[in-house]
Amino acid sequence: MCGIFACHCHPNVQKFKPAALKLGKLVRHRGPDWSGNWVANNTILVHERLSIVGLDSGAQPIVSDDEKLSLAVNGEIYNHRILRKQSTIKYNYKTLSDCEVIIPLYMEFDVDAPKHLDGMFSWVLHDKVQDRVVAARDPIGITTFYMGKSSETPGAVYFASEMKCLATVCDNIISFPPGHVYDSKTDKLTQYYTPQWLIEPSTIPTTPVDYKLLRLTLERSVRKRLMAEVPFGVLLSGGLDSSLVASIAQREILRLNQETAAKKAKGSNGVADDHGPDHLVGIDDENHLSTVQMLPELNSFSIGLPGAPDSKAAEAAAKFLGTKHHTLNFTIEEGLDSLSDVIYHLESFDVTTIRASTPMFLLSRKIKAYGVKMVLSGEGSDEIFGGYLYFAGAPNKNDFHEECVRRVKNLHLADCLRANKSTSAWGVEARVPFLDKKFLDVAMNIDPAEKMITKDRIEKYILRKAFDTTDEPETAPYLPESILWRQKEQFSDGVGYGWIDALKDNAEIHVSDEDMKNPKPEWGDDIPDTKEAYWYRCMYDEHFPPHTASTVMRWTPKWSKSTDPSGRAIAGHEQKYDTA
């Protein structure tokens, strides 16, 4: 990940520049490798860089030769090589960065440029001639992005990777909607990502499940996310989703290394590329990873309290796959001590997000200490396939599908936000293969009757079945049966059941019954309904002013009597709470 701060149409941009640089510095944790800025007309772009691709020449903001176009990007463009080859625009590339392709794409397609991108991204582009800013966010909102305005600088518009950059200069802040593009010429946001399943959730898909297509599409999604020039790894919780991602990545690395070794043995230089040296990793026209590097041994990482269910399962999965595994044990005290920092980085007071983010935040720090800058993660699967245990309460397939769509639409305020900000806090980038556009097209168009949890079908049955090779003796198993068919554990439960219990106990210490009866007036109608939620909201208020709270979404399960978001609060959980 990288960090962006930008302001367009500021009344005195040169006077504002020192403040803009300080605001950009607030997201330097996202991009600790280099800082840059660019001023043109009354617009300033500030960029804090985490270098993953184009290490030697990818500094930002990227500026065209004629200095008419400037660009600041956070994210990765997986199809950048294909776009470079297909472009009809004469453009002199100055870097090997995957992001620079956005400039000629804008020159060719104007505000339709983001439609052509395959990746996770948020970016701000300034056109000096038109004195125009175009900004866009990836279809699902994997990268965090905010937009703001200020009554003190009417006409100006601000953008940032994290809300904290805008909190002191904007009195109107929104989470930039995923799949949208902003054009300062019209001062409007327009949705460019418009698949039918997303914009017409009441239209229920009828396509039968194709297990081979489901498997192939996810494999391709993981493959393209191996695009990197730095050490990378995988977050391995021991649950189905992260274990599948790890399995596919490991198989791909072993296959690519075998092919590379064979080419070297024959004296071949591998696959050449027209736009850079052979060592630059990218995706070719056949959707294959193009590289002559020997990819490094795959590191896998898990975290939990001593004896946590996830840690045990992760170690079993890692042993089966042959990854270089690292298990981090944390103590409840360490988790509690980090809560304020976690909330500062998350910019949220949502109970589910904080519970799950704290272990991920601690693990990301350890990952960075190992020298790993990019990790693959399993976010998105539970939303796509209705994998949360509360989905068992869905009354019919129509409601099941509409809830899946709602959860995917809100990922940018929930699990994507958690994954992005927990890892970016330590300069680590998280990539999420389940949220690939092509995989979404396949998975979200499957008849939801195939996804429903029944007496005969465990949650995410069709995903498990797609990777079950029991009837394919020629295909090596992807995972041991104990992992492939393991019941869903939400991350905050899987790190150790004592974690959530400790949070609730400490909330009782910090929040009194009297406090609960007297919420702060500035909270308005958004009143915490538990002491834990009240405690988190108070910590949030220590960092951020009240007007920023509108950017936060609080998560509660549907079709459940319990308002507690923990999987253990659902009756079907094997270790459910004792409510007697």
Active-site amino acid positions: 2
Residue 151 backbone dihedrals phi, psi, to 5 degrees: -70, -15
Structure tokens at 423: 């890892």
DSSP secondary structure string for all residues of 504-515? HHHHHHHS-HHH
Q: How far apart are the C-alpha atoms of 194 and 179, rounded to whole Å?
A: 8
CA angle centred on 106, ends 146 and 83, rounded to 5°: 105
At 269 the three-state DSSP class reads coil
Q: Is 560 annotated as a binding residue?
A: no
Q: How far apart are CA 382 and CA 408, in angstroms?
A: 9
Residue 303 known to bind ligand:
yes
Task: Output DSSP code: residue 207.
Answer: B
Separation of first and last alpha carbons in the chain: 46
* Ranges of H-type helices in 392-478: 397-409, 415-424, 437-443, 461-466
Cα–Cα distance, 132 to 124 (Å, whole number): 10
Asked if 1 and 29 touch (Cβ cutoff 8 Å), the reply is no
Query: What tokens does 23 get?
Result: 């605001």
H helices of 239-350, where? 240-265, 309-321, 332-337, 339-346
Rounded to 5°, angle at Cα 236 from 234 and 241:
100
575: number of Cβ within 10 Å: 12
Report whether 98 belongs to an annotated binding site.
yes
Q: Residue 35 has which token pair?
A: 């800082």
Asked whether the CA dihedral 136, 140, 144, 148 is positive or negative, the reply is: positive
Count of C-beta atoms within a 10 Å radius of residue 185: 12
Phi, then psi, of 386 in degrees rounded to 5: 65, 50
378 is in an annotated binding site: yes
What is the four-CA torsion angle of 275, 276, 282, 288, rounded to 10 degrees? 70
CA 470 to chain centre: 32
Distance of CA 543 to the CA centre of its chain: 23
Phi first, then psi: give them for residue 327, nearest 5 degrees.
-105, 125
In the three-class reduction of DSSP (H, G, I as helix; E, B as strand; rest coil), residue 247 is classed as: helix
Residues sharing a CB contact under 8 Å with residue 571, sequence separation 6 or more, in sequence order: none
Calpha distance 549→347 (Å, rounded):
9
Beta bridge partners of 69: 127
400 phi/psi in degrees, rounded to 5: -60, -50
Comparing C-alpha atoms, which of 103, 26, 15, 16 is closest to residue 4? 26
**In angstroms, how far apart are the furthest CA atoms of the chain?**
77
395 CB burial (10 A radius; 0-12, 13-18, 19+): exposed
Instruction: List binding-site positions for L-glutamine.
Output: 98
Instruction: List binding-site positions for ATP.
Output: 235, 303, 377-378
Instruction: List binding-site positions.
Output: 98, 235, 303, 377-378
